[in-house]
Structures are given as C-alpha cells and as structure tokens.
Amino acid sequence: MITALKQLYEQNHTGDLRARRGDRMMGWMAPLRHLGAKVLVDRKPPANREPSMNEITTVGLDLAKHVFQVHAVDAEGDTVLRKQLRRGQVLAFFSRLPRCLVGMEACATAHYWARELRALGHEVRLMPAQYVKAYVKRNKNDAADAEAICEAVGRPTMRFVPVKTAEQQAAVLLHRGRERLVRQRTMLVNALRAHLAEFGVIAPQGLRNVGRLIAIIRDDDDARLPGLARQVLQVLAVQIEQLEAAIAALEKRLMGWHKSNPVSQRLATIPGIGPIIATAIAAMVAEPSGFRSGREFAAWLGLVPRQNSTGGKNRLGGISKRGNQYLRRLLINGASANLLRSKATNADPWVIGLRRRRPSLVVAVALANKTARIAWAVMHRQENYQRMATAA
C-alpha cells in the first residue's frame, strides 16, 4: 500500500515538473499554489427549465391585436417567465395559472380581456398608460412594456381604472357613434355652405337653416346653380339627410337607455344636465366610489386649474384639460346653455358675483366644475339633486 502511494506521488510530481518546465519555455511560470487549485462548479438549475406555474403571483400583460407579451414574477419579485402568446393562446395560458394579480394598460380591448380573465378567477387591474410609462427601462418594446406593467401594478400609490361591463361599453358606443355622425354632419354642412356660397347662395347660421339650402338645390327652376353643380350638391344633401335620420335613431336609443337606468335619471335632475350628458356620465363613470371627493372627480375631467408651483409659490394657470375630453365638452356646453336659459341659475348670487369678475366662458367653465361635483355627490349618495333654498 505504501509502495503504491509513493509511485502515485512520483507520477504527479513528475507531471508538475514537466508542466513548470514548459511554462519556463513559454517565458512565464505560475505559482505552485495555483497548480493545486480546484475549480468549483456552481450547480444552478438550467436556464431553459420550464418554470413552475405555482410560483407566479403577478403577471404583466401587454395587449396587442395578434401577439401578446407576458411578464410574470413570484412573491419575491423575481422574474419567473417571459413569453409571447398568440391571441388564441391567451385564455388557455391563464386558465392553467393559479389565481394571481394581472395588470394591463387601459387601452383598446382592455375591458374585454379584463372580463375574460376575471371569469377565470384572476384579479385584474387596469392602469392608465401614461402612469405605466414611467416604469419602462430604456428602449421601448413589448417585453419592456410587459415588465413595466408588472412593476406598476404592485405599486401602492397606483391609480386604477374600473372595469366596465358589456352593457356600459354598449352605452358608451352609442355616444361614440353619435359623436362621429355629428362630426360627419357638420363637415358636410360646412362643405355644402361653402360650395353654395361660390354661386352666391347663402343662408343664416344654424343647423335649422340648412333645409333652406337643400330646398334651393332641389329646385330645378333656380337658375343660380348650374346643372352639373346641382347634381353634386344633391349627393351631399342626401348624405346630410341620411345622417340626420341615423343621429335621430341613436338619440332615441339613448333615451330608452336613460329611462331604464336609475343613475342616469338621478343625474338628469341636476340643472345643466340633460339625457345626453346624464347617459354619458352614467356609462363612462363605472365606479363613483373610486373618487374620494367631487373635486377629485372634477380634476379627473380636467376642470381644475393646471398647477406649475415650486419653491412654496402657487402658480395656477388655465384648466388642465386632462381626462375625458368628451365629458368635459358636454359639461361646458351644458353649463353655457344653463347660463343662457335658466332664470334660477342667473339669479344665483354665486353666478352673479362671478359674472362681475370673470368673462362669460370662464363663468361657464366654473359652473361646469360645480356641476361635476354635484354629479359625483348624486352618484355617490344615490339621491336626486335638491336645490338649496336661497336666503331671502
């Protein structure tokens, strides 16, 4: 046994000497302590192993039309999965996951996917895209967006968007469709007026006076219009009439939805809010409890001054114009009509004092802000509006 150990030692020693002699020939020699060093191999799990679905607690889902990006983390915040999914694979993938938190940007198709994932048992939170952008690192791509969404959804100060039901989205679609048709009608009416003005045919302003122009176009005895021009203008006139009929049909459906919705009916009791504004607010504001106060609701609509304060100095500008542009425009238009036609509003001491100090448009915006606060209170308390009695 001792002889065998001696032979083994001599073989190793001879090998070391030969190695050192070769090192001298190359011009360098490693220290003796390095020749006996051992290489330690870190036995980590393979990088391409299939991640366990039970490890996933939070998922960031970047929505798209065909290719979706998933970024998933575990309870400690470590990345567990980065994966691309085709549209047909999304529901099958999430059906295999245990119940987890799923974050998405409140963009196109977000409410649909939120409803589908909630049906699978997941907790879904929608976030405004501008709030998620701050968490994107360096370049923008689908993987970076999904990672930013996964990071943002767990922030305690993040503001989330309530998920709308299919019925609420249908009511919003009524407003979107009506708005698009109204814009198309305005474009055609302006074009009709401009073309007729080239031939010296004009009419007073207002949509109600367009019928006079259409009557002139269809009067073959009117010599002011050439035959070729009359043919083209008749096409525009037919389109205007078709749009009028389509808008009337949508408004009829809106009135039917308004009568069947208690929130919309309560909102219609507020001065300056009619069925169109009431249905728009009821459809677009899914959860009034998401706002802490009426002022926060007005700020969400962009009806509060824009701040540029620093160094302890408050600097307020015009309204911020953030949030839902459609609701803001409806409220300002409703406030303007209320100031023109309501005797009770014009007799309000607050309105009288404001008119003495500010221009009429500023008064209308201020009244729209007040109307928005009242609308939030009506929705939050689930009560009809009651005007306060003025002091004698």
Give the tens place of pLDDT for each residue, 80-96: 999 999 999 999 999 99
In angstroms, how far is the first alpha carbon of the chain from the final one?
A: 120
In the structure encoding, which two tokens stand for residue 218, read together?
A: 């269809």
Q: Give CA–CA dist 127/148, Å, rounded.
A: 11
- Mean per-residue pLDDT, 175-194: 96
Listed residue (126, 61, 130, 57) closest to 90, CA to CA: 61
- In this prediction, residue 183 carries a pLDDT of 96
Q: Give CA–CA dist 372/380, Å, rounded.
A: 12
Q: Model confidence over 256-285: pLDDT tens digits?
A: 999 999 999 999 999 999 999 999 999 999
- In this prediction, residue 263 carries a pLDDT of 95
- In this prediction, residue 323 carries a pLDDT of 86
- Mean per-residue pLDDT, 182-190: 97
User: Which pairs count as long-range contacts for 343-348, CB under 8 Å and 24+ apart, including other chains?
Assistant: 344/271, 344/387, 345/271, 345/272, 347/390, 348/390
Q: Give CA–CA dist 132/125, Å, rounded.
A: 12
Question: What interhelical angle do 360-381 and 325-341 show, nearest 10?
Answer: 110
* Contact in structure between 234 and 218 (CB atoms under 8 Å): yes
- In this prediction, residue 40 carries a pLDDT of 46
Q: Give CA–CA dist 144/138, Å, rounded.
A: 8
pLDDT-derived band at 20, boundaries 50, 70, 90: very low
- In this prediction, residue 387 carries a pLDDT of 79
Listed residue (124, 127, 72, 126) closest to 102, CA to CA: 124
* Contact in structure between 55 and 99 (CB atoms under 8 Å): no
Tell me the residue type at 172.
Answer: V
Q: Give CA–CA dist 151/145, Å, rounded.
A: 10
The whole-model pTM stands at 0.78
- In this prediction, residue 309 carries a pLDDT of 87
Q: Model confidence over 103-160: pLDDT tens digits?
A: 999 999 999 999 999 999 999 999 999 999 999 988 889 999 999 999 999 999 999 9
What is the rounded average pLDDT for all residues in the chain? Answer: 87
pLDDT-derived band at 31, boundaries 50, 70, 90: low
The partner residues of 81 in beta bridges, in order of sequence, read 72
pLDDT cut 90: percent of the chain above it = 73
With tokens 């976030």, the residue in question is 127
- In this prediction, residue 14 carries a pLDDT of 52
Q: Model confidence over 332-359: pLDDT tens digits?
A: 999 999 999 999 899 999 999 999 999 9
Q: Give CA–CA dist 126/114, Å, rounded.
A: 8
Q: Model confidence over 8-17: pLDDT tens digits?
A: 555 555 555 4
In the structure encoding, which two tokens stand for residue 286, read together?
A: 């899914």
Q: Tell me, letter by letter, the H, E, C secondary structure of the chain.
A: CHHHHHHHHHHHHHHHHHHHHHHHHHCCCCCHHHHCCCCCCCCCCCCCCCCCHHHCCEEEEECCCCEEEEEEECCCCCEEEEEEEEHHHHHHHHHCCCCCEEEEECCCCHHHHHHHHHHCCCEEEEECHHHHHHHCCCCCCHHHHHHHHHHHCCCCCCCCECCCCHHHHHHHHHHHHHHHHHHHHHHHHHHHHHHHHCCCCCCCCCHHHHHHHHHHHCCCCCCCCCHHHHHHHHHHHHHHHHHHHHHHHHHHHHHHHHHHCHHHHHHCCCCCCCHHHHHHHHHHCCCHHHCCCHHHHHHHCCCCEEECCECCECCEEEECCCCCHHHHHHHHHHHHHHHHHCHHHHCCHHHHHHHHHCCHHHHHHHHHHHHHHHHHHHHHHCCCCCCCCCCC
- In this prediction, residue 28 carries a pLDDT of 54
- In this prediction, residue 29 carries a pLDDT of 55
User: Lowest mean pLDDT: which of 65-74, 152-161, 213-222, 379-388?
Assistant: 379-388
Tell me the residue type at 21.
Answer: R
Q: Model confidence over 314-333: pLDDT tens digits?
A: 888 888 888 899 999 999 99
pLDDT-derived band at 307, boundaries 50, 70, 90: confident
Q: Assign residue 385 a region: left if phi > 0, alpha if psi is -120 to 50, beta otherwise?
A: beta
The partner residues of 103 in beta bridges, in order of sequence, read 60, 125
pLDDT-derived band at 33, boundaries 50, 70, 90: low
pLDDT-derived band at 44, boundaries 50, 70, 90: very low
- In this prediction, residue 281 carries a pLDDT of 95
